A = this chain, B = another copy of it.
């Protein structure tokens, strides 16, 4: 049975409140054999106190060994099987620049490239133009009009932009037009089914028009397109869980992911302190709060072990302020691990804690990778975490008599 159908069948109304605090890339590794991880190094009295009072474990975002991107990592925490729900790269790119993609959209990642006089690519990244140059070229692309569709072109940075085609019955089974080589022209777009052939036809007209409007734009005189993606068919938090859900995230990508599952996107300001203020401010208006803390991931990606330790301690300092609001369920976890040692996302399971009145105690008194290994949640698929959140929030009835 589908997990969402099961939840729809069992869910019960309640006045309880759930906080999901996602510390991006939370899990880590020691730098040296026999060393400590970032979380084991950090001084985290508040998280430790929660681990002691609550229950801990390690979440597996997708499958053992699979390193998730932010999309699958968050979908799993939101209770959506990340192997079933896939968010195309074009949609993620659009979410990342805060473009409000919708159900009639095909979102596409675009690159400016440099073409020679015969139309062959001589630089696939158009010499990595400045953001100003990018913006100027995007303005030219915005002059293109095609019948039957709306076009949106948005700058990203350097040679990258986003193209969104809005129209009826458009598909996304279209090949990348980037040939991944120089000395050859961009590939024509072809659709693998009828809706995608409609998209491909629009795309080929757009590319031809782009070459005309960009003719005088120097190195950015051509475009390639890739990562065609329609808006995913995805049920909302209200529909599946019956939860009024709010996202309090600073970065566009995470706001976008939350918008995909129907959360209200709140003004989170620019700092963690702003986020906590927002949380307190809207506390009475929602049942579920997704707080996204970016800095554990960015410091991990930088390979900056001490900075990641410091960001974990900053995270720890927010805990008393969240607890003041008396959530019925507080979950602290990550969407994946980002060990400073690897300077990238990794497949390692993610330390997770759940604090509620109904936790069965385990022996864990600290919040870190090694301690969580002995926790009462065990190692579990991240997609099951929402079931536990709902249960501890008294929002799930009995299955069967």
**Which chain A residues numbered 292 to 326 have a C-beta less than 8 Å away from chain B?**
none
Q: Indicate whether A67 sits within 8 Å of B391 (C-beta atoms), given known contacts A378-B378, A399-B82.
A: yes
Question: Are A6 and B399 in contact, with the CB atoms below 8 A?
Answer: no
With a cutoff of 8 Å between Cβ atoms, the chain B residues found around residue A401 in the complex are: 69-71, 87, 89, 92-93
Segment among A162-170, A181-189, A279-287, A357-365 that sits at the interface with chain B: A357-365
Interface residues of A in 351-401 (CB under 8 A from B): 358, 360-363, 369-370, 373-374, 376-380, 384, 386-392, 396-401
Contact A391 B347 (CB under 8 A): yes
Q: Please encode chain A, from 332 to 363, with 1 for each CB lying within 8 Å of some chain B CB and 0 for all others.
A: 00000000011011111000000000101111
Of the four ranges (under 10, 10 to 19, 20 to 34, 35 or more), the interface on chain A belongs to: 35 or more
Report if A34-B361 is in contact (Cβ < 8 Å); known contacts: A391-B347, A400-B69. yes
> Roughly how many angstroms separate A398 CA and B44 CA in the complex, as a whole number?
30
Residues on B with beta carbons closer than 8 Å to the beta carbon of A379: 378, 380
Within 8 A of B (CB), among A254-281: none
A362 CA / B58 CA spacing, docked (Å): 13
Give chain A's interface secondary structure class.
loop
Q: How far is the CB of A242 from chain B (nearest CB, A)?
A: 15
Does A3 touch B at the CB level, under 8 Å?
yes
A360 vs B63: C-alpha distance when bound (angstroms)? 16
Pair A64/B384 contact, Cβ less than 8 Å: yes
- Are A66 and B6 in touch, CB under 8 angstroms? yes
Instruction: With A374-B373, A379-B378, A401-B71 as known contacts, state yes or no: A65 contacts B396, CB within 8 Å.
Output: yes
Known: A345-B398, A374-B374, A399-B82. A387 touches B65 (CB 8 A): yes
A69-B399, A92-B401 given; 13 more Cβ-contact pairs under 8 Å? A6-B83, A30-B360, A65-B391, A67-B397, A68-B400, A69-B401, A92-B400, A93-B401, A341-B358, A344-B398, A346-B358, A361-B370, A378-B379
Q: Which 9 A-B pairs have the closest CB atoms?
A: A65-B387, A65-B391, A69-B400, A72-B400, A378-B379, A1-B83, A65-B388, A69-B401, A71-B400
